[in-house]
């Protein structure tokens, strides 16, 4: 099969299109013929070696964290799926590789594709929707009537998180450029802040939850808009020792992450606010819940651009540019 891979960590190098062996299917896995794959900034960060301390991958490494396609083979212990099922998934860490014609994924990380969206739209969903779900539902415990600030509303995570927060009954504030305001109002955003002209710190106060996806300066300012007992959940760092624990990392990695997050944790503690870092995980059951929300119309995927498989490097460069509104998808079939 054809696949886009890397042979070493390198920020500037292109992905290599090579012929590789089709994966062998283990007892609890399904083989998916990948029809489309979402492209994420995480792919770029792994390519550049940003996560090598936490995710020490072996090479050659096929990148790609989102897949939508059809099951062509099932392992002997698979109970939830059959050959011919249309599915989508975010494969688990150390089992990624959706920039390829086939991928083998544990059945527990897979869900049936929503019936009311295309394969390309489905491929845009798993990583960002699971991130939003784990931030707002699992960690944030967001409730009806609460206020949440979702940064970078027009991004991949932002477009889904706004819709999920509205479904949960929250008041949603977000930052974006003014040209994205109409789209974000349509998704349910209540308070729109033009980051080029306004400082959200001067506009928002007494919020229950912040979903941070930006730089350190923005992270620190976010503390000041939260009420006591509020939660600051960051998907852009700094990671805490909890991440190292969850991944079974060595003791020295725990020490490093504890040190680099100590400043923000201390500031949060003084303000009576809880800080946590989220590195989303694969979860087929949560993806099944997201499927229900998509089929009910509560969440609609937002796809900015679609690239052919041979243009995967162009797709990754476009994501790295930061200009995407919603998600970027590679159409493999």
pLDDT digits (tens, 9 = 90+) for 287-310: 999 999 999 999 999 999 999 999
In a domain, 296, yes or no: no
How many whole angstroms separate alpha carbon 209 and alpha carbon 41?
A: 23
Residues 190 and 265 in one domain: yes
Asked if the structure places residue 112 within a domain, the reply is: yes
CA angle, residues 210, 128, 153, in degrees to nearest 5: 50
Mean pLDDT, residues 95-102: 98
Same domain, 120 and 51: yes
Cut 0.95: pTM above it: yes
C-alpha to C-alpha distance for 276 and 295, rounded to whole angstroms: 31
121-171 residue pLDDT tens:
999 999 999 999 999 999 999 999 999 999 999 999 999 999 999 999 999
Residues 106 and 59 placed together within one structural domain of the fold:
yes
Domain enclosing residue 176, as ranges = 127-277
- Answer yes or no: is 283 within a domain: no
Q: What percentage of residues in the chain have a pLDDT greater than 70? A: 100
Whether residues 131 and 273 fall in one domain: yes
The stretch 43-53 carries a mean pLDDT of 95
- Looking at the structure, tell me whether residues 17 and 120 fall in a common domain: yes
Residue 82, Cα to own-chain centre: how many angstroms? 27
Q: Quote the CA–CA distance of 204 and 166 in Å, as a whole number.
A: 18
In a domain, residue 77? The reply is yes
Same domain flag for 203 and 234: yes
In a 3-state reduction of DSSP, which class is residue 135? Answer: helix
Evaluate whether residue 291 is within a structural domain: no
Q: Does residue 59 sit in the same domain as residue 145?
A: no
Query: Would residue 288 count as lying in a domain?
Result: no
> Is residue 295 one of the residues assigned to a domain?
no
Question: What average pLDDT does range 3-22 have in this prediction?
Answer: 97
Looking at the structure of the chain, the number of domains it has is: 2
Residues 146 and 251 in one domain: yes
Looking at residue 73, which CATH number applies to its domain?
3.90.180.10
Q: Does residue 286 contact residue 130 with C-beta atoms inside 8 Å?
A: yes
Do residues 269 and 133 share a domain? Answer: yes
State the Cα–Cα distance between residues 230 and 256, nearest whole angstrom: 26
The CATH number assigned to the domain holding 255 equals 3.40.50.720
Same domain, 61 and 145: no
Instruction: Answer whether residue 164 is part of any domain.
Output: yes
């Amino acid at each position: 099969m054809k696949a886009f891979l890397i042979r070493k960590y390198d920020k500037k190098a292109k992905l290599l299109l090579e012929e590789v062996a089709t994966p062998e299917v283990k007892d609890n896995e399904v083989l998916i013929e990948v029809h489309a794959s979402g492209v994420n900034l995480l792919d770029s960060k792994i390519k550049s070696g940003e996560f090598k301390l936490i995710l020490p991958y072996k090479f050659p490494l096929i990148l790609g964290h989102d897949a939508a396609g059809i099951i062509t083979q099932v392992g002997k212990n698979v109970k939830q799926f059959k050959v011919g099922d249309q599915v989508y998934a975010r494969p688990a860490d150390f089992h990624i590789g959706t920039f390829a014609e086939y991928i083998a994924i544990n059945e527990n990380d897979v869900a049936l594709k929503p019936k009311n969206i295309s394969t390309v739209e489905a491929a845009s969903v798993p990583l960002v929707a699971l991130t939003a779900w784990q931030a707002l539902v699992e960690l944030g415990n967001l409730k009806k009537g609460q206020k949440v600030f979702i940064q970078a509303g027009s991004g991949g995570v932002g477009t889904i998180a706004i819709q999920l927060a509205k479904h949960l009954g929250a008041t949603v504030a977000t930052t974006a450029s003014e040209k994205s305001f109409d789209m974000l109002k349509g998704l349910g955003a209540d308070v729109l802040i033009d980051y080029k002209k306004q400082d959200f710190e001067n506009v928002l106060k007494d919020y229950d939850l912040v979903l941070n996806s930006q730089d350190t300066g923005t992270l620190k300012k976010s503390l000041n808009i939260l009420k006591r007992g509020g939660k600051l959940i960051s998907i852009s760092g700094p990671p805490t020792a909890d991440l190292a624990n969850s991944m079974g990392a060595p003791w020295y990695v725990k020490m490093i992450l504890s040190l680099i997050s100590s400043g923000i944790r201390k500031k949060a503690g003084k303000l009576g606010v809880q800080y946590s870092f989220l590195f989303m995980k694969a979860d087929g059951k949560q993806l099944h819940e997201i499927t229900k929300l998509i089929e009910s119309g509560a969440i609609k995927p937002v796809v900015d651009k679609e690239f052919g498989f041979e243009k995967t490097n162009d797709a990754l460069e476009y994501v790295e540019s930061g200009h995407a509104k919603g998600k970027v998808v590679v159409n493999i079939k």
